[in-house]
């Protein structure tokens, strides 16, 4: 076989391996390592426990996956900040700590289960004008009252269409909200800004002029799915369970 042909085949194999194994976010490696070590210890007690532990280790690695996403570059659209299911589309007063006023805003919620990718991404380009953490309960994140009662962390982003709110909400299983974005940081649309460990929800609060482009029950992909649009003459999408 010619040298050039072998080189091409080798490069093709390497690319295939890279595309098959999705990178793990750096925040997840310590958990994967802990699961692996515990599995080995359990194996000393009873071998079947070790194999169960290895399965859980594989799940942990899958949970903390951090795939590349292709984000549309348009200041008039709002992309999903999370992988998951659109669980709510409603006009709601934003949490007081966001300081977005008392008038209802369009809120689109995306619920993440334990099998979704949990890396959170900026829904629009802009400057982080405010960051607000609030301790709270750990109710089922699908419940509407979870937006007001659960532990949460909110970002307010100044965009070309005004201020928007993005709220990370803990759930029944999620006990740790991670946000590595600070006030006055600049975010690009689709840029990673945090994650929530083991199941939760993201709320996006949008000002007047935004029209929903998703339906209840629709699957959303962080950084890619268009949740809403500004300045369109099409009118809002009819909300229905898909």
Is residue 88 flagged as an active site residue? no
Residues in CB range of 128: below 8 A, 6 or more apart: 155, 156, 157, 158, 181, 182, 183, 184, 185, 186, 187
Give the active site residue among 39, 109, 147, 200. Answer: 200
Kindly give the pairing relationship between strand 126-134 and strand 162-170.
unpaired
Which residues share a beta bridge with 168?
153, 202
Task: Determine the 3-state secondary structure of 183 from DSSP.
Answer: coil
For 235-239, the CB contacts below 8 A with 24+ separation are: 235/211, 236/211, 236/212, 237/211, 237/212, 237/213, 239/89, 239/212, 239/215
Active site residues: 200
């Amino acid at each position: 076989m010619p040298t050039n042909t072998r080189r091409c085949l080798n490069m093709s194999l390497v690319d295939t391996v890279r595309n098959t194994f999705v990178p793990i976010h750096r925040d997840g490696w310590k958990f994967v390592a802990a699961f692996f070590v515990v599995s080995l210890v359990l194996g000393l007690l009873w071998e079947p426990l070790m194999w169960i532990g290895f399965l859980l280790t594989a799940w942990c690695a899958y949970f903390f996956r951090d795939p590349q996403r292709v984000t549309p570059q348009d200041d008039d659209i709002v992309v999903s900040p999370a992988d998951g299911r659109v669980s709510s589309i409603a006009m709601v007063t934003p949490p007081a700590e966001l300081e977005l006023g008392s008038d209802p805003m369009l809120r689109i919620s995306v619920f993440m289960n334990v099998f979704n990718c949990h890396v959170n991404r900026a829904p629009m380009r802009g400057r982080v004008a405010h960051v607000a953490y609030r301790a709270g309960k750990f109710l089922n994140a699908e419940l509407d009252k979870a937006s007001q009662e659960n532990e949460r962390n909110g970002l307010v982003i100044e965009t070309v269409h005004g201020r928007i709110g993005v709220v990370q909400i803990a759930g029944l299983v999620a006990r740790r909200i991670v946000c590595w974005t600070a006030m006055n940081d600049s975010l690009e649309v689709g840029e990673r800004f945090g994650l929530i460990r083991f199941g939760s929800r993201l709320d996006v609060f949008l000002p007047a002029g935004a029209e929903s482009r998703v339906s209840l029950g629709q699957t959303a992909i962080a950084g890619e799915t268009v949740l809403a649009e500004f300045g369109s003459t099409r009118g809002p999408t009819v909300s229905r369970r898909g």
